[in-house]
Structure 1
């Protein structure tokens, strides 16, 4: 149990530190948007954006309800983490929790979430996000992979 909690705390600490540093660095920039690099049809910009809602600014007028929902989801993620018997699932849940924690911290500290990472693919924008959002997405993708593997193993076990 102790190793699992150390893993959880390490992931939370790393995601929180990188997210917080990226937001302070972005706040120090005084431009609207800065082109960072291009690679083929992909362009990366730093575009400081304030987000009072959820993904893509949805539900911005429901800040209290969103905060309560986020804290409830974080509590459930912590519960599942404590019940988990898989390192892959633990890492996935810790990433999702950490990203949610960072965004809740932003809302409580600043009153909004600071987003800044802006990719264009073939000149099309797909939203602006932050390190916390990337942690949530990465954790969700890893959790999806874990559940797919678990389902496949369960199917093979029942076929045998």
Structure 2
């Protein structure tokens, strides 16, 4: 039950941040000079810049498949549905936290397509000269969940290998 509440809370946080972005920041049309049409948070802190902007994305990460938004939306819904079914049968009562993070982010980005027709992004970093693609809270949840899964599986595999040796 706690995991479901957490999932809804994370989706709500992401949607509130996106709604505030739409209401308060003009849509970025051209990125010239810091803060790139948004609100500057910090500039050149050890080579890193960060600003809040209002950008849209009809594709997936790095705007991949942006020419196929309907197919991408359908694929996202199918993948989310399959993941929910798998997790329900695999874990029943207690879905692991990384999967809650991934599902929350994926569901929230799909909600954007129905509310706005595209995903709302707002976090813009420039890392040592590299203009990192603008992203949102949902994207962060997906990446954090994936990293936790990767690291937990890596350490779990190592522990099993060490136990077999002993």
TM-score bracket relative to the smaller structure: 0.7 to 0.9
Q: Residue in 1 aligned with 2:111?
A: 105
Shift of 1:153: 2.3
Does residue 24 of the first structure (1) align with residue 29 of the second (2)? no
- Could you say which residue in structure 1 is the equivalent of 2:5? 10
Bigger share in helix:
1
Name the SS for the 2:66 alignment partner. coil
Verify the 8 A CA contact 2:56 2:118 in the aligned structure 1.
Answer: yes
Unpaired segments of 5 or more residues in structure 1? 1-5
Number of equivalenced pairs: 153
Match of 1:35?
Answer: 40
Give 1:156's aligned residue: 162
Query: Is 1:146 aligned to residue 163 of structure 2?
Result: no
Does residue 131 (structure 1) correspond to residue 137 (structure 2)? The answer is: yes
Name the residue aligned to 1:60: 66
Report how far residue 129 of structure 1 moved: 0.2
Structure 2: which 5+ runs fail to align? 27-36
Task: Name the SS for the 1:49 alignment partner.
Answer: strand
- Give distance in 2, aligned partners of 1:47 and 1:151: 41
1:70-120 deviation line (CA, Å, top 9, x unaligned): 1222123223433149x7x71000100000000000012211000010111
